[in-house]
């Protein structure tokens, strides 16, 4: 997740980002989040692969190789290992994990923040601070020195990092199911009422209030150029035109009509991963001529609840009963399952930090895995 520079006021910055972005209706450009590497197919030899093959997709689990005299990307061997298991008193429905900082939504116990220390001989999980919430913590988001906790009908509660005293409680027009940050604007997902735009400085609705009532149930949202893509439940992937930051407008047709209830979105460049609960995993090419094209539909053995796009060649999906599935897209015509892990509890949420992936498993707590793609430093 990107972290933006903290603004002094959301209203003061609504117009700053994106005003210079050219947007062709129906055909947005790649905004630079695609992956580098233009040497595919360049001639090489095994002895000179490092000099000849400047391929990098930003993925620690792929590497450049010289095969049959040409530069290609290849998959590193799968060696995923569980490095942490932690079971708090309350079931875990949502989490975030940032290189040793673990945040857990623990229902009536609020949000627990833990320090995870990992070394070759032992692993410790130590509670650092607890954020006591007004209502049961259902989901959370760490944003620019704050912890935002979605509490359903209770609203969106805001804490400063490390401070157990709530800074603000924002009550939306409907139960708050989650939140996101698009550019420097905080958006609350107000379930049946769509998107509710929140003033980051005061944690209140700006005046006049800015809302976008989508056609379905808003579960998630991400930015794409001057658009907001919304996981809109059975209504598919909705599109909000965000060119005018003070006047976002819902487009009349969804970007994608999906096969199931859309509950999560993740994007890298023009590759969009979609969690279609009830229908499986979906992948789309947003840059295809004629509009977004479906690249993949896959049944993962249970309702798909979350997705993360690690690179254009590696996508992670979580299915409540089917566990964690990591897809290999190096051959785009033939995607294959690279890793599948079905833990002891239903997977309700995933969060990736580099090569480490954390899973929320309800009553079974949290598990953190290391993909172990980067070879360890040689012993001196």
For 50-68, the pLDDT digits (tens) are 787 888 888 999 988 888 8
pLDDT at 12: 30
Our CA dihedral for 236, 186, 175, 138, rounded to 10 degrees, sits at 90
pLDDT at 40: 65
Considering the entire predicted model, what is its pTM?
Answer: 0.86
- Please list, residue by residue across 202-234, b when 16 or more beta carbons sit within 10 angstroms of its beta carbon and e when fewer do: ebebbeeebbbebbbbbbbbbbbbbbbbbbbbe
pLDDT at 333: 85
Rounded Cα distance, 257 and 232, in Å = 10
Rounded Cα distance, 187 and 179, in Å = 6
Please give the structure tokens belonging to residue 95.
């989490």
pLDDT at 53: 85
Please give the structure tokens belonging to residue 113.
């923040």
pLDDT at 201: 80
pLDDT at 380: 54
pLDDT at 122: 82
pLDDT at 208: 78
pLDDT along the chain (380 residues), means of 10: 32 27 33 51 80 84 89 90 96 95 98 92 92 97 95 96 95 93 90 91 81 95 94 95 94 90 95 94 93 92 94 95 95 91 96 96 97 75
Task: List alpha helices for 40-95, DSSP H.
Answer: 49-52
pLDDT at 35: 52
Please give the structure tokens belonging to residue 168.
């603000």
Q: Which helix (H) or strand (E) holds 224?
A: strand 220-224
pLDDT at 364: 97
Q: Using alpha carbons only, what angle is made at residue 60 by residues 54 and 66, rounded to the nearest 5 degrees?
A: 40
The gap between the terminal CA atoms of the chain, to the nearest Å, is 35
């Amino acid at each position: 997740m990107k972290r933006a520079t903290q603004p002094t006021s959301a209203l003061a910055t609504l117009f700053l980002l994106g005003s210079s972005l050219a947007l062709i209706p129906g055909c947005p450009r790649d905004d630079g989040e695609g992956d580098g590497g233009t040497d595919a197919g360049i001639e090489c030899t095994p002895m000179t692969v490092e000099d000849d093959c400047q391929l990098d997709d930003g993925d620690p689990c792929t590497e450049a190789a010289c095969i049959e005299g040409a530069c290609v990307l290849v998959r590193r061997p799968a060696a995923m290992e569980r490095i942490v298991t932690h079971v708090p008193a309350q079931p875990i429905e949502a989490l975030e994990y940032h290189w040793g900082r673990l945040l857990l939504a623990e229902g009536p116990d609020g949000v627990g923040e833990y320090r995870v220390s990992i070394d070759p001989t032992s692993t410790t999980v130590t509670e650092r601070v607890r954020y006591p919430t007004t209502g049961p913590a259902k989901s959370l988001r760490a944003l620019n020195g704050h912890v935002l906790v979605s509490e359903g009908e209770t609203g969106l509660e805001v804490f400063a990092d490390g401070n157990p005293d709530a800074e603000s409680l924002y009550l939306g027009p409907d139960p708050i199911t989650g939140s996101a940050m698009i550019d420097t604007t905080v958006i609350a997902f107000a379930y049946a009422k769509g998107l509710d735009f929140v003033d980051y400085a005061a944690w209140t609705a700006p005046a006049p209030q800015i809302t976008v009532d989508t056609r379905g149930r808003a579960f998630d949202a991400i930015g794409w150029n001057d658009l907001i893509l919304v996981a809109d439940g059975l209504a598919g992937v909705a599109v909000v035109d965000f060119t005018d930051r003070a006047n976002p407008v819902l487009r009349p047709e969804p970007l994608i009509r999906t096969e199931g209830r859309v509950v999560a979105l993740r994007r890298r460049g023009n590759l969009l991963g979609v969690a279609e609960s009830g229908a499986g995993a979906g992948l789309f090419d947003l840059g295809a001529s004629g509009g977004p094209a479906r690249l993949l539909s896959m049944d993962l053995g249970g309702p798909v609840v979350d997705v993360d796009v690690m690179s254009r060649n590696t996508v992670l999906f979580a299915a409540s009963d089917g566990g964690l599935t990591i897809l290999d897209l190096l051959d785009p015509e033939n995607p294959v399952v690279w890793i599948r892990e079905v833990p002891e509890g239903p997977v309700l949420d995933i969060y990736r930090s580099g090569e480490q992936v954390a899973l929320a498993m309800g009553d079974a707590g949290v598990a953190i895995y290391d993909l172990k793609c980067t070879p360890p430093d040689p012993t001196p």
